Amino acid sequence: MQVIAFISGKGGVGKTTLAANTAVALAQRKQRVLLIDLDPQNVQRLHLGMDPDEIAGLIREGISSAGLFDSPFGISFIPFGRVSETELEQFEMELKIHPHWLSDGIESLGGNFFDFVILDTPPGSSVYLHQALQAAHRALVTVLADAASYATIPWIFSLVEEYTAGRPDFIGMNLLINQMPTHGKLGHKVRTALYTDYAHQLVPVAIHRDSNVSQALAFERPVLEYEPGCKASLDIQYLADWLLDSTE
């Protein structure tokens, strides 16, 4: 089983979108996949067309086989759940006290139950990111090829190093560029800087900016199901193949 965390320094870069679609792409490749929404925004469910009222979620059910939903797209899913401010505060306090809450929960499902566990996290440093990094075998740092994303990379890399230090089962972190290409002089400069400064960490595919991605979300479907042949879908499939190849 491999646990992959989608993380970022800056918000709105596409973690939730890419986590959902990578999970679906891996399931299409006959992998048993669990997707966990670790973000209190609780929006991952929208990519999977799940009814918000039917959802108990991570906080109330924890990580257990009883709390798993079968999504219509072939993956198992644990939503964050809709909770009150008080519940959220209590939960976050608990996570601080038990830094291995998530990794213990995933382990309790049994090592052979899933081939991949995909984690979606909130942007920046948080108790959720720390939990995710304690559990992950691989971190996919999602970035846009813009100056703001670029500026956060050293900081997020050092966080990953801090939380995964000394873990022999941690494969490594990779940079995943989303919403390419970026136009203009500055965009070109940042892209060049990404390719030269982080050549060894770059995932060998960048995800195209593609209007089908937001249209798919409006229909509450993964773009892979909404428009399988569009540019973004093809890139995500390449990403899934790369993850499979580099796991073997």
Which C-beta is closer to ligand ATP: that of 67 or that of 123? 123
- Give residue 62's identity as a one-letter amino acid code: G
Please check whether residue 134 is in contact with residue 163, taking contact to mean a CB–CB distance below 8 angstroms: yes
Footprint of ligand ATP on 173-192 (CB under 6 A): 178-179
Partners of 212 in the β-ladder: none
Q: Per CB under 6 A, which region of 51-59, 88-96, 207-215, 240-248 contacts ligand ATP?
A: 207-215
Please check whether residue 37 is in contact with residue 58, taking contact to mean a CB–CB distance below 8 angstroms: yes
User: What does 81 bind: ligand ATP, Mg ion, none (CB cut-off 5 to 8 Å by kind)?
Assistant: none
Which C-beta is closer to ligand ATP: that of 68 or that of 213? 213
Choose which of 103, 157, 209, 220 interacts with ligand ATP (CB under 6 A): 209
Tell me the residue ranges of DSSP E strands in the chain. 2-7, 33-37, 69-70, 76-78, 116-120, 138-144, 172-178
Q: Per CB under 5 A, which region of 15-23, 103-111, 130-138, 232-240 contacts Mg ion?
A: 15-23
By CB under 6 A, residue 132 contacts ligand ATP: no
Minimum CB distance to ligand ATP, residue 205 (Å): 12
Footprint of ligand ATP on 40-69 (CB under 6 A): none
By CB under 6 A, residue 123 contacts ligand ATP: yes
State how far the Cα of 58 lies from the Cα of 102, in Å rounded to an integer: 10
Which C-beta is closer to Mg ion: that of 102 or that of 191? 102
Please check whether residue 200 is in contact with residue 165, taking contact to mean a CB–CB distance below 8 angstroms: no
State how far the Cα of 41 lies from the Cα of 49, in Å rounded to an integer: 16
Minimum CB distance to ligand ATP, residue 111 (Å): 28
Minimum CB distance to ligand ATP, residue 194 (Å): 16
Residues 6+ apart with CB under 8 A from 172: 138, 139, 201
Choose which of 8, 16, 71, 134 interacts with Mg ion (CB under 5 A): 16
By CB under 6 A, residue 17 contacts ligand ATP: yes
Footprint of ligand ATP on 24-43 (CB under 6 A): 39
Which C-beta is closer to Mg ion: that of 37 or that of 191? 37
State how far the Cα of 40 lies from the Cα of 83, in Å rounded to an integer: 8
Instruction: List the 138-144 sheet strands across, edge first.
Output: 69-70, 76-78, 33-37, 116-120, 2-7, 138-144, 172-178
User: What does 105 bind: ligand ATP, Mg ion, none (CB cut-off 5 to 8 Å by kind)?
Assistant: none
State how far the Cα of 224 lies from the Cα of 216, in Å rounded to an integer: 9
